[in-house]
Structures are given as C-alpha cells and as structure tokens.
C-alpha cells in the first residue's frame, strides 16, 4: 500500500531534549516536505527537499533541522525543543520536483513542556 508513515504519532517532551520525528514514504517520490499546523494559522512549511541531499527552508525553519540521505526518508530534528514548537506536524511527499499530488502522513502531535 502506497503510504507516508510518521513516527512517533504522539510525543510529550521537555524543553531542550533533542528529538527526531521520522518520515518515510514507499512511493519512490522525489519531493518531500514538513509542515506544522497550528489553530488559526493553517499549515506552514518548515523544510522541503526536491531530492537526496537537496533541502531548502520553508516559511518557518527556525529551530528545526532536516536531512535527506536516502530518497525514502526525511527526518525532522528538533535539537533543543521549546514550548512554541508544540504543534501538529505533517510530512508529505509527491512525485517529481513540481507540486503534484502530495500524499500526507498521519501527523505527529508534539507537546513540549
């Protein structure tokens, strides 16, 4: 089954404790992206990647890092999480380098206390 998986689905952590949210897709998609969703603000793009070793900042990259060492994986790293990073995070992937149909993962709800 074609899908985007994210882990963990739910995470409660404390300020400053490094964490990684994994994202993996099995569709051989080139384009992958991370978004955060906050009430009243919609989705905001954090980082995107058009292919292996090619990443760029979205609108809200501060406090996040990403890497794209393999085509299928695109982990999101929070080196020192802060409470303002409490949010619902979505990973997505699409074929090609253009914005074709993006397949979204199920979301990761992160709480930083």
Partner 1 sequence: GQQLNQSPQSMFIQEGEDVSMNCTSSSIFNTWLWYKQDPGEGPVLLIALYKAGELTSNGRLTAQFGITRKDSFLNISASIPSDVGIYFCAGAVKKSSGDKLTFGTGTRLAVRP
* Interacting residue ranges for partner 1, rule: CB under 8 A: 31, 33, 35, 40-45, 48-51, 54-56, 58-60, 90, 92, 97-102, 104-107
In the complex with partner 1, the residue whose CB is nearer, 62 or 113, is 62
In the complex with partner 1, the residue whose CB is nearer, 2 or 14, is 2
Shortest distance in whole angstroms from residue 41 CB to partner 1: 6
Measured CA to CA in angstroms, residue 29 lies from 14, 38, 41, 51, 91 at distances of 34, 26, 28, 8, 13
Shortest distance in whole angstroms from residue 20 CB to partner 1: 20
Shortest distance in whole angstroms from residue 91 CB to partner 1: 9
In the complex with partner 1, the residue whose CB is nearer, 78 or 94, is 94
Shortest distance in whole angstroms from residue 1 CB to partner 1: 15
- In angstroms, rounded to a whole number, what is the distance separating the alpha carbons of residues 35 and 69? 19
31 CB neighbour count, 10 Å cutoff: 21
In the complex with partner 1, the residue whose CB is nearer, 59 or 79, is 59
26 closest CA partner among 54, 5, 7: 5
- In angstroms, rounded to a whole number, what is the distance separating the alpha carbons of residues 62 and 40? 20
- In angstroms, rounded to a whole number, what is the distance separating the alpha carbons of residues 12 and 10? 7
């Amino acid at each position: 089954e074609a899908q985007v998986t994210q882990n963990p689905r739910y995470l409660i952590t404390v300020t400053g404790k490094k964490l990684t949210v994994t994202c993996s897709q099995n569709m051989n998609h080139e384009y992958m992206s991370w978004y955060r969703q906050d009430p009243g603000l919609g989705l905001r793009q954090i980082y995107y990647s058009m292919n292996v070793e090619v990443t760029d900042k979205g609108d809200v990259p501060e406090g996040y890092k990403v890497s794209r060492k393999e085509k299928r994986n695109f982990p999101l790293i929070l080196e020192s999480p802060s409470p303002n990073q409490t949010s619902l995070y979505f990973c997505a992937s699409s074929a090609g380098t253009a914005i074709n149909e993006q397949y979204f993962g199920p979301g990761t709800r992160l709480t930083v206390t």
